[in-house]
Chain A
Amino acid sequence: MHEFLQQYVFSYLDKDLTPGGAGSVFWATVYILLVFGGLSVAVIAMNWLERKILAHMQVRLGPMRVGPHGLLQPIADAIKLLLKEDIIPAEADKIIFWIAPFIVVLAAFTVFVVVPFGPTHAITDMNIGILFMLGVSSLSVLGIVTAGWASNSHYPLIGALRSSAQMVSYEVAMGLAVVSVIMMTSLETGTGTLSMIGIVQAQQTQGVWFVFKFFPLGLIGFAMFAIAMVAETNRAPFDLPEAESELTAGFHTEYSGFRWSLFFLAEYSAMIAVSSIAVTLWLGGWLRPFPSVRGPVITIPHIWTPADPSAGALDFVFALCPGIAFLLLGAMCFYNVRRMPKHPLFKIQTMGLAGFGAVLALIGLILFIPPVRDRVEDIFWFSAKVAAFMYLYIWYRGTFPRYRFDQLMKVGWKVLLPMGLALLILTAIVGMRTDLWAQLTGAVQP
């Protein structure tokens, strides 16, 4: 029995498959827990980063009191939210009021089943990957709408109506942009794919990120998606469902405590989800920058002995990036340790920051160990690209004023939709041009 279990657990490690593909329930569970944990940490980090970056953009300090540079602020907030009284309005529709936040959270987390952090680092690879992601993330609007309605109050209802109109409108533009990418996947192999892993592999075989494919068509599609995804996640400048100047807090006005924090969690994980769609479809997913430039072939005993014979020096340099990134973060912590106030009251905070820096540096060092390095490099690049999108979200929020509702609808239906249709047709024509050319000149059809 013991040996059987051991064999069951370790046999997966030899396969180049996702846990879902290998049918390994144990590893699927491990991956689900890892993704869930990583996501929660990311949401906590985003909470702190957003307040901090936004504050610096507006020439403020942001949270400074709880922990060094407010690092423990999100934890304090989480504890506050959990201890807060959970109020359900007397006139609310109790059951739906209770279910709504869970629908939103469920939809936001379920999409991560197919997000490819690496060729083998996804919970599973579905044949309908991107369709699944769009479909399940479109369910979150149901939660928002029912939350607004069940509150039985005016502001939430208006917020819910706005959000349903907005999300349905922008899903159209989003879908059109996605379809143009799916057409691109079929270019060299003849058969396209909807699978998230397949889409990245198509970019690998074609040797180009789809954002640069058929320049500027890929770029236009990417820009359309980048606009639509902000609207889809109800973020500034498209945050009309929760426009605080008009609607108090929009659809979640009546929510408090734990249930409100569920909405918060869902919003941020939905942001990460749509960003990872954008990264997968246009920015080459887990591929490092310049994936087809490999440099001269080198081997360093014990340090760089790649299984792939064509792996070059540049592969080695890029493989070191995750470790270096964490070391830099650790160094930044130590730099700030020296800048901490020397007053004895700050002693514990200073020590905490030093400890945090040490942990980051240790992670950096672990990432240099060859087997670890080779396994997590793809995860690092994927996360780095998603992080860039997260920064963009904060940047938008700090920069753009909120749209008016009619402007929002105008952008969605009168700008993005025609653009998407034109993009679709143009991509099809450009993609078929060799074929068309052959037909026109009477050459033999492939």
Chain B
Amino acid sequence: MNPVAMTPVATNPPVATPFFFYLLAATMIIGGILVITRKNAIHSAMALITALLAQAGLYLMLYAPFVAGVQIILYAGGIMVLFLFVIMLINLERNMKERQFNKQWLVGGIAALALGGLFISVYLKTTNAKALFPDGRLSYVEGQNTQAIAALLFDRGAGQYMFAFEIASLLLLVAIIGAVVMAKKRI
């Protein structure tokens, strides 16, 4: 099966309308701002979950339901639960009273400006600015997304990312074993 053979088809009017994009993008940005401004770590975590779910919605709009599903399972359902788990073990009352001592706003501001500048320069440099934002919408059959990803990973001919995928998972395994070894004196 050829992963590139995703053919655009004319189906029902796509749900990926600008309205939903702006809605999800706004949710993400507001969530992101709340993450860094809330003093209560649990509130930050909840805001982060909102942002991650909105991101899953954006993936759906890009006709990548598989990526969206994995995003929900891994980030919102898995990692964030562990985050909350750890935060609950911390004594929050003391943290709430302390002033936030993070003094990295200068570095952060410079980095944000640089990134913003990069985006704007790319937009300006492109001779045909429209090329970044295509006029027509290609609507792929959602049905092909999962199979296409599987083909990219595992297909005999076209599968190019198998090695990288396995190496990444091996790296994670090493990290897990390392954490266990460091945490436990006697195994």
Interface residues of chain A, those whose CB is within 8 Å of chain B, are: 23, 93, 96, 99, 126-128, 131-132, 134-136, 138-139, 141-142, 145-146, 149, 157, 160-161, 164-165, 167-168, 171, 191, 193-195
Q: 16 A-B contacts, Cβ less than 8 Å apart?
A: A96-B43, A126-B65, A128-B145, A135-B72, A138-B72, A138-B81, A139-B72, A139-B77, A142-B80, A142-B81, A145-B85, A164-B81, A164-B85, A168-B85, A193-B146, A194-B66
When C-beta atoms are compared, the residue in chain B nearest to A198 turns out to be B143
Q: Are A135 and B77 in contact (CB under 8 A)?
A: yes
Contact B84 A145 (CB under 8 A): yes
Q: Give the complex CA separation of A138 and B74 in angstroms.
A: 9
With A127-B142, A161-B88: A191-B1 Cβ-Cβ less than 8 Å: yes
Tell me if B12 counts as interface (CB < 8 A to partner A): yes
The interface residues of chain B lying within 8 Å CB-to-CB of A149 are 42, 84, 88
Bound CA–CA A194/B68 (angstroms): 14
Judge whether A160 and B66 touch: CB under 8 Å. Answer: no
- Minimal beta-carbon separation of B15 from chain A (angstroms): 10
- Residues of A within 8 Å of B69, CB to CB, are 128, 131-132, 135
| Contact (Cβ within 8 A) B142 A142 | no
Q: Which residues of A contact B1 (CB under 8 A)?
A: 191
Number of A-B pairs, beta carbon distance below 8 Å: 89
Q: A131-B66, A157-B88 are in contact. Are A194 and B72 (CB under 8 A)?
A: no
Main secondary structure of the interface of B (DSSP, over half): helix
In the complex, chain B residues whose CB is within 8 Å of the CB of A142: 49, 76-77, 80-81, 84
How long is the Cα–Cα vector from A141 to B81 in the complex, in angstroms?
A: 7
B42 touches A93 (CB 8 A): yes
Tell whether, in the assembled complex, residue A138 and residue B85 are in contact, meaning their CB atoms are under 8 Å apart.
no
A139 to B75, CA, bound (A): 10
Chain B 17-58 interface mask (CB, 8 Å, partner A; 1/0): 000000000000000000000001011001001000000000
Closest beta carbon of chain A to B82's beta carbon, Å: 7
Q: How big is chain B's contact interface, by range?
A: 20 to 34
8 Å CB contact of B77 from A127, A138, A193: A138
List 20 additional A-B contacts (Cβ < 8 Å) besides A96-B43, A145-B84, A160-B88. A23-B11, A23-B13, A96-B42, A96-B46, A126-B65, A126-B142, A127-B66, A127-B145, A128-B65, A132-B65, A134-B73, A138-B72, A138-B77, A139-B72, A139-B77, A146-B46, A149-B42, A161-B88, A164-B82, A193-B146
Q: Is the CB of A145 within 8 A of B46?
A: no
Residue of B nearest to A172 (CB): B78
- Classify the secondary structure of A's interface with B: helix
Bound form: Cα–Cα A128–B140 in Å: 15
Q: Select from chain A the residue with minimum beta-carbon distance to B84.
A: A145
Note all chain A residues with C-beta closer than 8 A to B73: 131, 134-135, 138
CB-CB under 8 A from B169, the residues of chain A are none
What 0/1 pattern do residues 147 to 170 of B give for CB contact below 8 A with A?
100000000000000000000000
Indicate if the CB atoms of B66 and A128 lie closer than 8 Å: yes
Does B181 sit within 8 A of A, measured CB to CB? no
Is the beta-carbon distance between A138 and B78 smaller than 8 angstroms?
Answer: yes
**A194 and B146 form a contact (CB under 8 A):** yes
**In whole angstroms, how far apart are the Cα atoms of A136 and B60 in the complex?**
14
Bound CA–CA A136/B71 (angstroms): 11
Task: Say whether B70 faces chain A, with CB atoms less than 8 Å apart.
Answer: yes
Of A96, A127, A132, A146, which one neighbours B143 at CB under 8 angstroms? A127
Q: How far is the CB of B88 from chain A (nearest CB, A)?
A: 5
- Across-interface contacts of A157 in B (CB, < 8 A): 88
Q: Is B46 touching A167 in the complex (CB atoms < 8 A)?
A: no
In the complex, what distance in Å separates the CA atom of A131 from the CA atom of B81? 18
C-alpha gap A62/B81 in the complex (Å): 38
Give Cα A142–Cα B49 distance, bound, in whole angstroms. 9
Query: Which B residue's beta carbon lies closest to that of A150?
Result: B42
Chain B neighbourhood of A160, CB < 8 A: 88
Q: Is the CB of B146 within 8 A of A127?
A: yes
* Cα A53 to Cα B68 with chains together (Å): 41
Measured between C-beta atoms, what is the minimum distance from B37 to chain A in Å?
15
Residues of B within 8 A of A134 (CB): 73
Kindly report which residue of chain A lies nearest to residue B141, judged by CB atoms. A127
Contact residue among A141, A145, A193, A194 (Cβ-Cβ distance under 8 Å from B88): A145
Bound together, the chains give a CA A194 to CA B147 distance in angstroms of 10
The answer for the CA separation of A23 and B14 in the assembled complex, in Å, is: 10
The chain A residue with its CB closest to the CB of B74 is A135
Cβ of B13 to closest chain A Cβ, rounded Å? 8
Question: Which residues of chain A are near B68, meaning CB under 8 Å?
Answer: 128
Write out the residue numbers on chain B whose beta carbons fall within 8 Å of the beta carbon of A99: 46
Interface centre among A93, A141, A145, A191, by most B CB within 10 Å?
Answer: A145
7 smallest A-B Cβ distances: which pairs?
A138-B77, A135-B72, A131-B69, A23-B12, A135-B73, A128-B69, A128-B65
The distance in angstroms between the C-alpha atoms of A191 and B150, with both chains bound, is 10
- Please give, as numbers and ranges, the residues of chain A lying within 8 Å of B76 by CB-CB distance: 135, 138-139, 142
Hey, which chain B residues are within 8 Å of A93, CB to CB? 40, 42
